Amino acid sequence: MTCLHLLLTLVFAVSLGTPVEIQRPRGVPLTKKQFYEESKPFTCLDGSRTIPFDRVNDDYCDCKDGSDEPGTAACPNGSFHCTNAGYRPMFIPSSRINDGICDCCDTTDEYNSGAKCENTCKELGRKEREVLQKMAEITKEGFLLKQQLIEEAKKGQQEKQSKVTDMQENKKQLDEKVEALRTVKETAEQPEKEAKERHLKAWEEQKAAIRLEKDKAKMAETFLELDDNEDGFVSVSELQSHAELDPDADGTLTEIEAQGLMGGAEQVDTSTFESVWPKIKDKYHSEAEEPAPVETPPDEVKEPVVDNDSEPYPEDDISEEEDEDDEDEDDYHEDDDKVMCLCVVQAQPTIKTPEKTHEDEEAMPPYDADTQALIDAAQKARDDFEEAEKALREMDDQIRNIEKELSFDFGPDAEFTYLYSQCYELTTSEYIYRLCPFNRVSQKPKYGGSETNLGTWGSWSGPENNKYLLMKYEQGTGCWQGPNRSTTVKLTCGKETVVTSTSEPSRCEYLMEFTTPAVCQEPANIDPSPHDHVEL
């Protein structure tokens, strides 16, 4: 039979180095001592009922709020206070009293469970002070660095601001210059165009004359070729030997068809052949030349190269990453739900144009000196104009970039400005993680493989009182059957700017820890001498 009595504890509170004994029921914090007076009936702290004082800590729950059993596990909602002298006091749920697990460093929660607990408060206090001290140093130095960062950022910002202003002024001038050069260019181009057209027209006329002459010669040559018996006439039968002239393309040139070509005549002489020639010249194959080779168009190079990843089980030993990929894609080995990447390496068809066999047209003769002079002048005007226009575009880009940078929220004092356009890497056993603040987060397998986007800059997303403690990067590469990858970057105070850890707490939701002086708070101006926690 277990019967627990009212257990009073002796509590040592260290105040100004003098131990003072304060008596109160087990598990009651000093702040509530006045409610537990041994001489009086106890009223539950919620006021719900009053019980004799011997029912306080009697291991039976009488108060709905659990306040009658601060030192036992009897109430489901009670809480137990441990003083933890040398460390910090704390409340634990009363369900942790005598459960065989040491929760309070002063061992007071396990007074009847047989658990062997050691008082570790001093050790914990010492460690905590060390940590706090170290933290304080880091904070102090970090905060100094932060001031510099703020200084630099302010300076940089001002510089950029004035640079933008300067550039905008310059841009105006450049705008004018571009406009002026455009006029010059257009003025120079008009005479150039006219001179060129004149030159071209003369050339076209010359070419037409040459073509006509050539046709005539060809006609005469053909006549001679067709006139097999050399009687000065081309007859129907002579024409029929050229099956390629067949008008209905049935493969034979019949007598009637040949007669048709010859305008109904049985035979034609050189002069009447002139009316036959236009009907046959396109199809006619000279007997002297080989039939034109038929160009076969080259096969398009279009071999689908199936990515190895879609082979469900690569033959070789599967490395860790591939393992994971397999599961990503195969999951429960269901083909139908598989993501397949069909990668097609496609060569742009290189169509061989047949070399020109008939160099029947001579090149255009060079421009005459006057025309050439006009062209040169126009070209110079064009070059000048384009150069000016390019300079204008570049300046626009520069202005836009600076304005973009200036538009970012770099913190209340612009202390995060220095992170802009920087990247920080962390290499783990499998991946190289890369954080480019205000831009993107990515992950790349250490041993080859393509980069995965873990999110692009979204917003500051810390708690309301300090949103600058978390960065959110969103809309990264999509996950199979899941959301797009995203990353939360947690910022903590540090002297150095460095990615300290990454993890994937939930599928495709990454967490990155990042230290930077920019979040270091001004150290509280308190003497960091060892402090004993005194509860009051």
Partner 1 sequence: MGLLSVVCVSLFFSSTFAVDRGNFKTCDQSAFCKRQRALKPGQSPYRALLETLELSDSRLTLQLINDNNKVHLLLELYRLQGNMTRVKINELKPLKPRFEVPDVLIAEPPTEPLSVLSKDDNGVVLSLGAENQRLIVSARPFRLDIMEGPEVLLSLNSRGLLAFEHLRLHKDTLDFSLPGVEHVYGIPEHADDLKLKTTDGGDPYRLYNLDVFQYELYNPMALYGSIPVMLAHNTQRTMGIFWLNAAETWVDISSNTAGKTVFGKMLDFVQGSSEKPQTDVRWISESGIIDVFIMLGPKPSKVFSQYASLTGTQSFPPLASLGYHQCRWNYNDQEDVKSVDQGFDQHDIPYDFIWLDIEHADGKRYFTWDPHKFPQPKEMLQGLMDKRRKMVSIVDPHIRVDSGYKIHNEITSKDFYVKNKDGKNYEGWCWPGNSGYPDFTKPEMRAWWASMFAYDQYEGSMENLFTWNDMNEPSVFNGPEVTMHKDALHGKWEHRDIHNIYGLYVQMATAEGQIQRSGGVERPFVLTRAFFAGSQRYGAVWTGDNAAEWDHLKISIPMCLSLGLVGVSFCGADVGGFFKNPSTELLVRWYQTGAYQPFFRAHAHLDTTRREPWLFGPENTALIREVIRQRYALLPYWYQLFYQAHKTGMPVMRPLWVDYPKDTATFTIDDEFLIGSDLLVHPVTEEGSRGVTAYLPGAEEVWYDVHTFQKHNGAQNLYIPVTLSSIPVFQRGGSIIPRKDRVRRSSTCMENDPYTLYVALSPKKFAEGELYIDDGHSFNYDTKKEFIHRSLTFANNALTSSNLCPDCNFLTSSWIEKVLILGASKPSKVLLKMDGKETPVDFEFDTSMSVLTLRKPGMNAGADWTLLLQ
| Contact residue for partner 1 among 350, 357, 407, 529 (CB under 8 A) | 350
Task: For residue 74, give both structure tokens.
Answer: 């009897």
- Of 147-155, 231-239, 346-354, 510-518, the window that binds partner 1 (rule: CB under 8 A) is 346-354
| DSSP secondary structure of 51-119 | E-GGGTTSSS--STTSTT-TTSS-STT-EEEE--TTS--EEEEGGGTTSSS--STTSTT-SSS------
Under the criterion CB under 8 A, does residue 331 sit at the interface with partner 1? yes
Residue 325 binding partner 1, by CB under 8 A: no
Structure token digits, residue 135: 């933290």
Q: Which is nearer to partner 1, 75 or 181 (CB)?
A: 75
Nearer to partner 1 by Cβ, of 122 and 333: the residue is: 333
| Greatest distance between any 2 Cα atoms in the chain | 154
For residues 428 and 445, the answer to whether their CB atoms sit within 8 Å is no
- Which of 298/528 has CB closer to partner 1? 298
CB of 88 to partner 1, least distance (A): 17
Among 12, 60, 203, 277, binds partner 1 (CB under 8 A): 60
Q: Of 158, 206, 506, 521, which lies in the binding site for partner 1, with binding defined by CB under 8 A?
A: 506
Q: Which of residues 62-121 bind partner 1 (CB under 8 A)?
A: 73-74, 76, 93, 95-96, 99-101, 113
Closer residue to partner 1, CB minimum distance, 486 or 497: 486
Cβ atoms within 10 Å of 425's Cβ, excluding its own: 13
Taking only Cα atoms into account, the Rg of the chain, rounded to an integer number of angstroms, comes to 47
Instruction: Return the amino acid letter for 45.
Output: L
CB of 95 to partner 1, least distance (A): 5
Q: Provide, rounded to whole angstroms, the least separation between the CB of residue 436 and partner 1.
A: 24
346 touches partner 1 (CB under 8 A): yes
| Position 306 contacts partner 1 (CB under 8 A) | no
Compute the distance between CA of residue 111 and CA of residue 75 in angstroms, rounded to an integer.
17
33: left (phi over 0), alpha (psi -120 to 50) or beta: alpha
Q: Decide if residue 50 touches partner 1 (CB under 8 A).
A: no
Under DSSP, the state recorded for 266 is S
Quote the Cα angle for 514-517-523, to 5°.
120
Output the smallest distance, CB 122 to partner 1, in A. 21
At position 319, the amino acid (one-letter code) is: S
Q: Do residues 43 and 87 lie in contact, with contact meaning Cβ atoms separated by under 8 Å?
A: no
Specify the 3-state DSSP secondary structure of 201.
helix
**Which residues, 379 to 438, sit near partner 1 by CB under 8 A?**
429-430
- Find the part of the chain contacting partner 1 (CB under 8 A) among 9-17, 204-212, 339-347, 487-495: 339-347
Residue selected from 333, 390, 404, 446 as contacting partner 1 according to rule CB under 8 A: 333
Query: Cβ of residue 78: shortest distance to partner 1, in angstroms?
Result: 10
CA torsion 166→167→172→173, rounded to 10°? 80
Nearest Cα residue to 55 out of 69, 66, 76: 69
Instruction: Figure out which of the listed residues 480, 484, 498, 511 binds partner 1, where binding follows CB under 8 A.
Output: 480
Residue in 180, 208, 306, 318 binding partner 1, rule: CB under 8 A:
318
Q: For residues 75 and 153, which CB has a smaller minimum distance to partner 1 in the complex?
A: 75
Considering the complex, what minimum distance in angstroms separates the CB of residue 315 from partner 1? Answer: 9
Count the residues of the shown chain that bind partner 1, applying the rule CB under 8 A. Answer: 59
Straight-line distance from the first to the last Cα atom of the chain, in angstroms, rounded to the nearest whole number: 38
264 binds partner 1 (CB under 8 A): no
Q: Per DSSP, what are the bridge partners of residue 436?
A: 440
- Going from the C-alpha of 299 to that of each of 302, 306, 414, the distances in angstroms are 9, 20, 60
Q: Which is nearer to partner 1, 19 or 482 (CB)?
A: 482
What single letter denotes the amino acid at residue 412? P
Stretch that binds partner 1, among 11-19, 191-199, 473-481, 517-525 (CB under 8 A): 473-481
Residue nearer to partner 1 on the CB measure, 371 or 477: 477
Strand 470-474 versus strand 498-506 pairing type: unpaired
Stretch that binds partner 1, among 246-254, 328-336, 490-498, 523-531 (CB under 8 A): 328-336
Question: Is 327 one of the binding residues for partner 1 (CB under 8 A)?
Answer: yes
Q: Which helix (H) or strand (E) holds 503?
A: strand 498-506
402 vs 479, beta carbon nearer partner 1: 479
Distance CA 385, CA 378 (A): 11
Rounded to 10 degrees, the C-alpha dihedral 184/187/190/192 comes to -50
- Confirm or reject binding of residue 320 to partner 1 (CB under 8 A): yes
Question: Rule CB under 8 A: which of 240-259 touch partner 1?
Answer: none
The residues binding partner 1 (CB under 8 A) are: 1-3, 58-60, 73-74, 76, 93, 95-96, 99-101, 113, 301, 312-313, 317-318, 320, 323, 326-327, 330-350, 429-430, 479-483, 503-507, 509
